[in-house]
Structures are given as C-alpha cells and as structure tokens.
C-alpha cells in the first residue's frame, strides 16, 4: 500500500516545509511533491493493475473485514461506506470501486495510533463491487467485497 | 366541442360561485391572479399554461370528482379528439418503447422546442422488472398484455389511454401525451408495444 | 386537506370501470407472475432511510451554515452594514428560533414573508443590495453558492430542535394560507399537474423517491426538513425557493418569480401544515 | 483560500471518534460546466491527522471521493484537552489545516 517507511522519513526530516517551499518556487509540481501519493495505483484502469501498483500480493478472502455500505445507493454521487477491520495488526485499509474508470479510491493508514476503522463517502458510477484490501504489519493482505447497486432517482426531467 | 366545454364550465362555475358568494374574498381567484402576476414565460413554457382548459377547470372546481353526467360528456368530447393511426396499426417497437418509458424529459422550460421528449412512464409505474427504480403513483403495468390480452381492442385502448387519459377518466392524474403533443404517433405505438408485444419483457 | 390526488409524470390506469376487460384476461390471469409486493418496495425505502441517517450524521450543509453565519455578521453591500439589525420576526437581530415562526406577517412591509424573502428584504434595505441583481442568479451551481442560500441555511440551523409554530393570527397570514392551498391544488399546464399530483396522497414514490403528502403534518414537516438542504446530486446547497422553482419546472408550468407572493403563499400552506412538528435543522437530499 | 473544515470528535474512553467535513469540489475532470467546457481535475490527494503534533491517521485518496468530503476515523490514546489537527492537500498544491481541542465526552 502506501510506502510507510518513506513517508515517515519525509515527515521526520520536516521535509513537508521544504517541499512546500520547493513547490512555491515552481521547482516541483504538487504531484511530485506528494511522493507518497501512489500515482500508478490511482491511474490504473483495472483492479488487478491497481493492486499491482499497491504491491498487494495474493490477498486472502476474509470475513474479518466488515463493510457497511448500502445494498442500493440512493445516489451514486455520495455513497457512504464504513469499514471495520477485525484483523490483528491491521496497518492500512485500501478501497477500490471495481467498476469505476479508475478503481482505486484511496488508502487509509491506521498504523500510528488509529483504530482499524474508516468512514468515507465515494462516487460510484454504476452498480459495482466495493473491494477492501487490508494490509497487516507483518506484510499479509486480506480482502472482502460488498456489492452496491446504483439506481436512477428522481423524475429525470 | 369547445362550445360544449365552455357551456358546461360556465354553468358549473356559476353554481360554485353562487355557493361561495358569502365569502368576502374568493381564494381561488386570488390564487390564479397571484400566479399570473408572479410567473413569467421561460423557454417553451409560456404563461398561457396557467390558463385552465375545460377539463382542468372542471377537475379544479370539483376536487377531481366531477358530477357523473358532466364527466361523461367531457370524456366523450376528449375521446372524439383522439387521433388514432390512420393505418390502424397500434403496435410499434417495444425496445424503443422501453427507452421512451425511461425518458423523463419534455415540455419543461429547460427542454428545447421540437426536441423529442419521453413518456416518463417509470416515474409513476412499475413496467419491466429489470428496472427497479419505478414510481408507485400509477398501478403496476408489469404483465399488462399477459393479463389483459394482446388483441386489437386492447391495443387501441392503450393507444387511446396514452394519447388522452382524460377520455377514459376525466380527472386522471395521467398527462394527455398525444393531446398536448408531448409524444408522437410513433412514440405512442412504441409504448403500446412495450406493454402489449408478447416478446416485450413486460409480458415475460 | 379535503382533496386527495396523485402523480409526477405519468399515469393512473386507475378508474376500474374504464377498462374493457377482454374475455382472455381472466383465463390468462392465473399464469401471470405477481408484481413485487408492497413489502419488497418498502425494503428499498427502508434501505434509503437507514443510510440517510448515516448521511445526516455528518451533513455538508454545516459548511454552508458556517458560511452563512460569517455573511450575517460581516459588513457588506453598498451600505457597508451587517445583517445584525435584520428583524426576522422576533425583533431586530434575533436569529435564534426565528426560522420556525416563518413565514409570518411583517408590519413594515404589510406583507407575509418567508425566510428567504425576509433575508433578501434585509439585504436590500439594510445592506443596499439590489433585488434585481440577487434575482439574476438566485440558485446554487457547482461553482457558486449565492449569499441568500448560505444565509437561509444559517438562519434555519439556528432553529434546530425547535417546534414549527407558524402564526395564523393576522388576517393576511390566514389569507396567504388560503391562497397557498389553492395554488397547491391548482391543475394546469401541459401535463395537467398540480403540486397535489405528487404530494397529495400517502405512501407514493416517483422512481425511488418517496413523495410526502403535504396535506398532513407529519409529512409536511419533511419538506421543511429537506430544504434548505444539501443536495447529493451536484453537491450543492439548495433552499425551498429552489425546490419550488424546480417543482414548477417539472410541473411543466412557466417560471415562478424569485421570492414572489405565490411562493410565500405555498410555503405558508406547507409550514402551517407542519405546525407542531420538531425541526431538525438543514437537511440532506438526493 | 479554502473554507474551514468542520471537525467533530466524541471521546469514548481513550478513543476519539472523529468526523470531519471538508469544503472541496473534488472535480473528476470529466464534468462539463454550463458552457460545455471540461472542468479540470481538482481533488484532495492526502489527508493527515495529528494528535498533539504526533501523526495518528494518514490517507491518500482519489477524485472518487464525493464532493465536500466526509471522513471518519478513531484515534487511540486520546484525552480531553488534546489538540487534534487535520490537514488536507489537493492536486493543485492548495492545502488547509484546522485544529480542535478534544472535550470530555
């Protein structure tokens, strides 16, 4: 998932300030500065390519990830999702909307003092599986899915 | 026919006005005057849409429960105005009909003049089972042909109902799609096919 | 209240007597699968309700309440004045609790005004803004939230948890209610629709959207609960002025004037019907 | 400058249940404006939360996050009086930081 050692190093060195200065000076584009924003994974058009960029290796299907999301979403523009991982040593939680043009929606690092939980709201273009991948501190991967149907809402006039 | 509507309207209005004569202000007249002051023509939706036609006037003045004999006369008046296809063919293409049933556009101030509109059918009706997003203002039309039969008499009825629902039930909530030019002859045929073609998913 | 109608954009194949039953109908009826039951339909509604609570728990409308509060207190407009002397009915500057008593009669203009109309009135009289300018772009877009929208959201938020108590003492308040009721039931336009076509009967839906019956208190409150509200479609804040404007569009009517008498009358009808219900604050809608 | 976030935190024991609302258009780069021009991609990319200056929660996200984003997370080892700071940075380099003090639940 996100490269934690690199991120920690950047923060430790107070590099954020330096990077902001470099950006302001036009030396770096924001996307360069955000070295730990996984461009490859976010630009991947398939789930398997995204997982490859995230360095996810053979994730195991599990029932220990609880995904709370609507069976039928009232509006695909705002679909609330809550994820609770019950897997010991959960380090990060990644969310992929399988049918979206760019499936990888983001990853949440909970290893530094947060509970293995995240709530977010996402855009889902058409009925799709929401895939969650949990990475653990000891380098294992677990996954679960929840299907969300997207419907037409109002008069359409 | 216009004269007929007008005379019925006149008589009913007089009766109702007489019964309300004790009131100082007539809220209905005040309401209509207020609407006409506040609303402006926009795009294809001109202010003359605020004027009631005969059917609307009778329904507005009777809480949608017109006296039976007036309802019957006006219904038959509306029925006579239905233009059925000259070739007697009522059945179009159900696949096109499904698209029209899904399409909720047409006749609003944001629609363009002459742009093809839809029937907005799913807004109020369940039709094909594959569409789970359907309204419940009107009854389910699922299995319409299977239940009612596929004969020419049913086809003609459905054509007429979509063309002008008020010809069959004066104060029906269903728009008069053909009567007001919201749907073309071919579009209505396609909708008839959606309900009455045996191969339409409606009848599976 | 006496009347009951139904619909949005299509039909009622209702009148039982109107349909000629061909003989084939009875014989084939047995073979037909029944359509999904009311219970199955309600399951969709229940699912929406469950997640609406999740959405309400953190409503982006709060962002607009904050913006509105900032605007209320700022010295703005040609007169460089704040709105802190604006009288919303409880005295100059009193915002807390004002919203649940609107629309109401204001002696200074000898008129009944709804919340947005009164706020716009204060913007023109106190701050010197021009109504014609405000009326040019009154509704939110993806790029801009007009000031009155944020202000109404702020004012509405200041009545969170209070009971709707819209007055009907002044003759003009009662007359406005009556006019509002007539407009609510007035069928006209290309599709013969009135407000009641969609909002005059219990338990109906357009597509998947539930249609509150505004003639009843426990349902009329839902219109008030909804708007001002954060609309998920487009992610913008909208007020009741917008809601009525877009309802009239879909009703196939011509365009209503912004903060006009017709809309005040309709809002009075709606609010009085909701009297006694608790207002939960700005809403979140599909 | 971006509008302030709205941060709410409820203390349950030593866990702070945090909800944050952010004002951001989260443009997908696919939407067209009224004039028919494509609105460029504009979205929050990273979010970090600190408790008394120590990082506790970090995220990288895409334009698939809904407009005016809402996130929820739970911070361990929190107590009343602690300072919670949240920062987001978007793809144009705009950033916003807001802080709140935890109150006793």
Domains identified in chain C and CATH numbers: 41-285 (1.10.760.10)
**pLDDT for the residue numbered C10:** 29
Average pLDDT over residues C173-179: 97
Distance from CA of A145 to the nearest CA of D (A): 17
Please provide residue A12's backbone torsions phi and psi, each rounded to the nearest 5 degrees. -60, -35
Q: Which two tokens stand for residue D6?
A: 């709205």
In a domain, A155, yes or no: no
> Under an 8 A CB cutoff, do A153 and B106 touch?
no
**Testing the interface with C: which of A71, A79, A155 to mutate, by most C Cβ within 10 A?**
A155
Residues 6-25 of C with CB under 8 A from B: 6-15, 18-25
Q: Do D70 and C230 touch (CB under 8 A)?
A: no
Cis status, amide bond into A122, omega within 30 of 0: no
CB-nearest partner of C13 from B38, B40, B138:
B138
Give mean pLDDT, residues D17-42. Answer: 94
Asked whether residue A156 is assigned to any structural domain, the reply reads no
Contacts of A100 (CB under 8 A, 6+ apart): A123, A124, A125, A128, D64
Q: Count, in order, helices (H) and strands (E) of chain B.
A: 9, 1
Which residues in chain C (34-63) have CB-CB distances under 8 A to chain B? Answer: 35-36, 41, 44
* D82: confidence class by pLDDT, cuts 50, 70, 90: very high
Q: Which residue in D21, D33, D67 is closest to C62 by CB distance?
A: D21
Burial class, C161, CB count within 10 angstroms (exposed 0-12 / middle 13-18 / buried 19+): exposed
> pLDDT > 90: what percent of chain B?
83
From CA C130, how far away is CA C121, in angstroms rounded?
10
User: Which residues in B lie closer than 8 A to residue C29 (C-beta atoms)?
Assistant: 147
Same domain, A77 and A141: yes
How far, in Å, CA of C213 to CA of C6, rounded?
10
Q: What is the arithmetic mean of pLDDT over C121-125? A: 98
Are residue A96 and residue A29 in the same domain, yes or no?
no
Facing residue for C206 by CB, picked from B39, B49, B137: B137
Mean pLDDT confidence for B135-160: 96
Regarding whether A71 and A32 lie in a shared domain, the answer is no
Same structural domain for residues A85 and A23?
Answer: no
Mean of all residue pLDDT scores within chain D:
96
Beta-carbon separation of B121 and C11 below 8 A: yes
| Mean pLDDT in residue range C160-182 | 97
Joined tokens for residue A42: 């976010």
Would you say residue D1 has pLDDT above 70?
Answer: no
Residues of D in contact with A79 (CB under 8 A): 66
**Mind telling me the catalytic residues of C?**
247
Lookup: tokens for D80: 């009343």
Interface B-C: count of C-beta contacts within 8 A: 237
pLDDT of residue C204: 87
Q: Is A19 a domain residue?
A: yes
**Do A30 and A64 have their domain in common?**
no
For B117, the closest chain A residue by CA position comes to A157
Do A81 and A100 reside in the same domain of the chain?
Answer: yes
Q: Does A72 touch chain B (CB under 8 A)?
A: yes
Domain tally, chain A: 2
Q: Choose the weakest-confidence range: A2-6, A46-50, A82-86, C218-222.
A: A2-6
Contact list, C48 vs chain A (CB under 8 Å): 70, 72, 74
Higher pLDDT: A27 or A77? It is A77
Report if residue A157 sits inside a domain: no
What value does the mean pLDDT take over residues D33-40? 90
Whether the per-residue pLDDT at C220 is higher than 60: the answer is: yes
Contacts of C250 in chain A (CB under 8 A): 155, 157
Domain covering D6-101, topology = Immunoglobulin-like (2.60.40)
d(CA A140, CA A137): 7
pLDDT band at B110 (very low <50, low <70, confident <90, very high): very high
Burial call A49-72: b when 16+ CB within 10 Å, e when fewer: ebbebbebeebeeeeebebebbeb
State the DSSP H helix or E strand holding residue C71, giving kind and residue range, or none if neither: helix C61-73
Note the pLDDT of residue C210.
Answer: 82
Give partners of B (≥3 CB pairs < 8 A): A, C
Instruction: For residues C92-110, give the mean pLDDT.
Output: 98
pLDDT the model gives residue A154? 54
- Overall average pLDDT of the A135-151 stretch: 95
Nearest to A77 among C208, C209, C233 (CB): C233
D73 touching chain A per CB within 8 A: yes
Chain C residues with CB-CB distance to B108 below 8 A: 249-250, 252
The per-residue pLDDT for A152 is: 64
What pLDDT is stored for residue C41 in this prediction?
A: 54
| Amino acid B148: pLDDT | 96
ipTM of the complex in this document? 0.84
* Nearest-neighbour CA in chain A from D84: distance (Å): 13
Cα–Cα dist D1/D96, whole Å = 8
Which is more confidently placed, A3 or C89? C89
The pTM score is 0.86
Can you tell me the mean pLDDT for D18-42? 94
Instruction: Give me chain A's average pLDDT, please.
Output: 83
**A72/C48 touch (CB, cutoff 8 Å), yes or no:** yes
Tokens (6 digits) for C20: 């000629």
- pLDDT of A36 higher than 90: no
Q: Are C264 and C103 in contact (CB under 8 A)?
A: yes
Residues A90, A107 within the same domain: yes
Report the chain B residue with the minimal C-alpha distance to residue C195. B173
Q: Given this model, what pLDDT does residue A15 score?
A: 43
Q: Give pLDDT, residue C201.
A: 84
Instruction: Spell out which residues of chain A touch residue B122, defining contact as CB-CB under 8 Å.
Output: 152
pLDDT score recorded for residue C122: 98
Cβ–Cβ below 8 Å for C55 and A78: yes
Shortest Cα distance, chain B CAs vs residue A156, angstroms:
5
Percent of residues in chain C assigned helix, strand, coil, to nearest 5? 45, 10, 45
CATH number at residue A72: 2.60.40.2470
Give residue limits of the domains in chain D.
6-101
Q: Which of residues 104-123 of B touch A (CB under 8 A)?
A: 104-106, 108, 118, 120, 122-123
pLDDT of residue A2: 45
A5 vs B56: which has the higher pLDDT: B56
Residue numbers in B near A157 (CB within 8 A): 104-106, 108, 120
Residues A140 and A67 occupy one common structural domain: yes
State chain B's mean pLDDT as an integer.
91
Distance of alpha carbon C154 from alpha carbon B91, whole angstroms: 56
Q: Is the pLDDT of residue C137 over 60?
A: yes
Predicted confidence at residue B24, as pLDDT, reads: 52
Q: Tell me which residue of B62, B121, B75, B68 sits closest to B96, measured CA to CA.
A: B121
Mean pLDDT of C78-98: 97
* pLDDT over 70 percentage in chain A: 74
Distance from chain centroid for Cα C143: 23
Counting one residue from chain A and one from chain D, the pairs whose CB atoms sit within 8 A come to 117
Q: What is the pLDDT of residue A7?
A: 41
**pLDDT at residue B132, rounded to an integer:** 84
Residue A12: pLDDT band (50, 70, 90) is: very low
With cut-offs at 50, 70 and 90, classify the pLDDT of residue C214. confident
Interface check B137 vs C, CB under 8 A:
yes
Mean pLDDT of D75-100: 97
A109 and A53, same structural domain?
yes
Query: By mean pLDDT, which of A39-48, C41-50, C68-77, C117-126 is the weakest?
Result: C41-50
Q: What percent of chain A has pLDDT over 90?
A: 71
Give the nearest partner residue to C6 out of B119, B141, B173, using CB atoms. B173
Contact of A36 with chain D, judged by CB distance below 8 Å, is answered with: yes
What tokens were used for D48? Answer: 């970090």
A10 pLDDT band (50/70/90 cuts)? very low
- pLDDT-derived band at C4 (thresholds 50, 70, 90) equals very low
More confident residue, C82 or A20: C82
Q: Is C57 on the interface with D (CB under 8 A)?
A: yes
Full residue range of the structural domain in which residue A8 is found? 1-37
pLDDT surpassing 90 at residue B127: yes
Among D6, D33, D66, the residue with its CB nearest the CB of C66 is D6
What is residue B13's predicted lDDT score, i.e. its pLDDT?
52
Q: What is residue C224's predicted lDDT score, i.e. its pLDDT?
A: 82
Helix axes B68-80, B2-19, angle to 10 degrees: 150
């Amino acid at each position: 998932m996100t490269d934690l050692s690199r991120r920690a190093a950047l923060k430790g060195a107070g590099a954020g300030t330096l990077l902001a200065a470099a950006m302001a000076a036009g030396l770096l584009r924001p996307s360069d500065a955000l070295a730990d924003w996984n461009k490859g994974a976010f630009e991947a058009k398939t789930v398997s390519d995204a997982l490859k960029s995230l360095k996810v290796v053979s994730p195991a299907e599990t029932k220990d990830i609880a995904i709370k999301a609507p069976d039928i979403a009232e509006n695909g523009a705002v679909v609330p999702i809550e994820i609770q991982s019950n897997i010991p040593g959960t380090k990060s939680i990644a969310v992929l909307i399988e049918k979206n043009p760019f499936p990888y929606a983001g990853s949440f690092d909970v290893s530094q003092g947060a509970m293995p939980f995240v709530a977010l709201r996402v855009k889902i273009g058409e009925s799709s599986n929401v895939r969650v991948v949990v990475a653990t501190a000891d380098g294992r991967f677990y996954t679960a899915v929840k299907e969300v149907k997207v419907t037409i809402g109002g008069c359409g006039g | 026919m216009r004269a007929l509507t007008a005379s019925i309207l006149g008589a009913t209005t007089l009766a109702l006005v007489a019964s309300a004569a004790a009131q100082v202000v007539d809220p209905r007249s005040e309401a209509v005057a207020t609407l006409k002051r506040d609303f402006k023509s926009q795009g294809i939706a001109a202010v003359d849409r605020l004027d009631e036609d005969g059917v609307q006037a009778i329904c507005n003045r009777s809480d949608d429960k017109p006296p039976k004999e007036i309802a019957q006369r006006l219904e038959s008046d509306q029925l006579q105005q239905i233009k059925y296809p000259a070739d007697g063919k009522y059945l179009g293409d159900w696949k096109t009909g499904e698209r029209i049933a899904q399409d909720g556009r047409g006749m609003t101030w944001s629609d363009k003049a002459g742009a093809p509109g839809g029937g907005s059918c799913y807004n109020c009706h369940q039709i094909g089972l594959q569409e789970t997003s359907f309204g419940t203002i009107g009854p389910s039309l699922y299995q319409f042909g299977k239940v009612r039969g596929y004969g020419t008499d049913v086809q003609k009825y459905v054509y007429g109902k979509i063309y002008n629902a008020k010809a069959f039930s004066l104060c029906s909530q269903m728009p008069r799609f053909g009567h007001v030019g919201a749907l073309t002859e071919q579009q209505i045929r396609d909708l008839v096919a959606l309900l009455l073609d045996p191969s339409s998913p409606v009848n599976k | 209240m006496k009347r009951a109608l139904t619909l949005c954009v299509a039909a009622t194949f209702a009148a039982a007597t109107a349909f000629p039953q061909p003989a084939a109908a009875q014989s084939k009826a047995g073979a037909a699968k029944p359509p999904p039951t009311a219970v199955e339909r309600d399951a969709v509604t229940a699912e929406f309700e469950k997640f609406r609570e999740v959405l309400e728990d953190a409503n982006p409308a709060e962002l607009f309440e904050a913006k509105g509060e900032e605007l209320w207190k700022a010295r703005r407009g040609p007169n460089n004045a704040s709105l802190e002397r604006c009288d919303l009915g409880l005295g100059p500057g009193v915002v807390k609790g004002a919203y649940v008593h609107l629309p109401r009669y204001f002696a200074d203009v000898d008129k009944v005004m709804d919340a947005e109309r009164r706020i716009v009135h204060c913007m023109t009289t106190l701050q010197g803004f021009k109504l014609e300018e405000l009326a040019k772009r009154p509704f939110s877009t993806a790029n801009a939230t007009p000031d009155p929208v944020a202000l109404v959201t702020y004012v509405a938020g200041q009545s969170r948890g209070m009971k709707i108590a819209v007055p009907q003492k002044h003759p003009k308040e009662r007359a406005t209610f009556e006019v509002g009721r007539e407009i609510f039931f007035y069928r006209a336009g290309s599709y013969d629709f009135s407000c009641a076509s969609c909002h005059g009967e219990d338990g109906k839906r357009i597509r998947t959207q539930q249609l509150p019956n505004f003639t009843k208190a426990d349902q009329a409150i839902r219109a008030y609960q909804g708007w001002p509200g954060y609309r998920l479609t487009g992610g913008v804040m909208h007020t009741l002025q917008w809601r009525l404007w877009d309802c009239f569009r879909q009703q196939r009517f011509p365009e209503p004037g912004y903060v006009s008498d017709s809309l005040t009358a309709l809002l009075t009808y709606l609010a009085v019907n909701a009297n006694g219900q608790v207002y939960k604050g700005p809403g979140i809608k599909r | 400058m971006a509008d302030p976030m709205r941060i709410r935190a409820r203390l349950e024991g030593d866990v702070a249940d945090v909800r944050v609302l952010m004002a951001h258009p989260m443009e997908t780069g696919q939407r067209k404006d009224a004039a028919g021009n494509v609105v460029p991609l504009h979205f929050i990319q990273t979010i970090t939360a600190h408790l008394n200056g120590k990082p506790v929660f970090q995220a990288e996200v895409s334009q698939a996050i809904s407009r005016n984003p809402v996130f929820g997370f739970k911070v361990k080892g929190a107590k009343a009086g602690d300072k919670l700071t949240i920062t987001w940075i978007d793809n144009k380099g705009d950033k916003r930081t807001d802080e709140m003090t935890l109150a006793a639940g």
